[in-house]
Amino acid sequence: MDRIDRRGFLECMAWAGTGVVWTAAGGLLASRPLTSAAAAAEAPAGGFSFVQISDTHVGFKGEANKDAAATLQQVVARINALDPAPALVLHTGDQTHGQKEGAFDTVAEILKGVKAERVFYLPGEHDVFLDGGKEYLARYGKGTVGGRGWQSFDYRGTHFVGLVNVLKYKGEGVGALGEGQIEWLEKDLAPLGASTPVVVFAHVPLWAVYPKWGWTTEDAERALSYLRRFGSVTVLNGHIHQVLQKVEGTVRFHTAMSTAFPQPAPGSAPAPGPMKIPESDARRMLGLREVTYVPGRQALAVVDSTLA
């Protein structure tokens, strides 16, 4: 299975001239940190940028990170140092480490300090597995479709769709969107012109990264069938705590780093889970993602930067 095709690699390489340096290691792409000065140079008139953070896992305490709240704080400081400031922040789930008591409060408190117009959330399986999403939806369900956590909104001509694929965890423990949400998506996208840039964000990857570890969404293909007519689709996921990319026609898939701990590359360990490595090494595998929309350019610029 080819996780990154040549075309995708070349598309990513296209950004090398504008401040991002991509490196291929073990067949996977990773980007080097980008300074905020380089980001500023990239932000054009009429464009805007937003930040994706993911898998904050507050409550986690392990070898790779003794304090997941502290690394989240550092990431927030990084976001607040971006110039220009991002318009939005998207949190792609697993705010908490297994719904650890008090973790939702800690995340909310830390993210109050983010300098952005708004923060959008969706759940990861760690946020909902104990109570079927009761606490999560009580906090973040307001304003979402039927209070069920998924939503769409428009920002300066770009259509954003936040999908929930962790409430129907079943069988082999893979992501699933479910019939109701897919039907909603079809209706939500129907009135949009094909030239509208679309950003889709969801916790579990919407492509088959590594089904054996549950790193896939079983009914994603149906959702994607409604997205393929658009000229620019950017799919942002979390869950796997590492940067992977894939390009399929006009659809670009990106998974993000965690702000808490890295996970092993697909199949490189007996099981997924926190890598047991020194904190100093882990910092090089934690971080955030800045996405910049450039009018007239089909692909959004996706820049991943690490804490170290």
Partner 1 sequence: MTHPKIATRWRRHAALGVALAAAALLSAGHAPASSGPAVGIKDHKYAPTTLTVPVGATVTWTNHDEDPHTVTSATSAFTSRGLGNEETFAQTFTRPGTYAYFCALHPQMKATVVVK
β-strand partners of 22: 31
Instruction: Name which of residues 189 to 228 contact partner 1 (CB under 8 A).
Output: 214
User: Does 169 contact partner 1 by CB under 8 A?
Assistant: yes
Q: Which stretch binds partner 1 (CB under 8 A): 47-55, 66-74, 247-255, 266-274?
A: 266-274
* Total residues binding partner 1 (CB under 8 A): 25
User: Does 274 contact partner 1 by CB under 8 A?
Assistant: yes
Give least dist CB 272 to partner 1, A. 7
β-strand partners of 91: 53, 121
| Binding residue (CB under 8 A) for partner 1 from 130, 138, 194, 308 | 130
Walk across the sheet containing 118-121 and list its strands.
118-121, 88-91, 48-53, 287-293, 301-306
| Binding residue (CB under 8 A) for partner 1 from 93, 141, 272, 287 | 272
Give least dist CB 95 to partner 1, A. 14
Give least dist CB 167 to partner 1, A. 12
Give least dist CB 250 to partner 1, A. 33
Rounded CA-CA distance 94/96 in Å is 5
In the bound state with partner 1, the residue whose beta carbon lies nearer, of 250 and 283, is 283
Task: Say if residues 152 and 164 touch (Cβ distance below 8 Å).
Answer: no
Per-residue burial over 193-218, b = 16 or more CB atoms within 10 Å of its CB, e = otherwise: eeebbbbbbbbbbbbbbbeebbbbbb
Q: For residue 113, which of 145, 69, 61 has the smallest C-alpha distance?
A: 69
Q: Which stretch binds partner 1 (CB under 8 A): 68-76, 143-151, 265-273, 290-298?
A: 265-273
| Binding residue (CB under 8 A) for partner 1 from 8, 19, 47, 62 | 62
Task: Say if residues 258 and 286 touch (Cβ distance below 8 Å).
Answer: yes
User: Does 278 contact partner 1 by CB under 8 A?
Assistant: no
How many residues can be counted in the chain?
Answer: 308
User: Does 173 contact partner 1 by CB under 8 A?
Assistant: yes
Q: Which stretch binds partner 1 (CB under 8 A): 10-18, 54-62, 83-91, 190-198?
A: 54-62
Rounded CA-CA distance 156/234 in Å is 16
Q: Which stretch binds partner 1 (CB under 8 A): 66-74, 84-92, 96-104, 189-197?
A: 96-104
Q: Which stretch binds partner 1 (CB under 8 A): 108-116, 123-131, 148-156, 228-236?
A: 123-131
Give least dist CB 141 to partner 1, A. 20
Summarize as ranges the residues that interact with partner 1 (CB under 8 A): 60-63, 97-100, 125-126, 129-130, 169-173, 214, 261, 270-274, 276
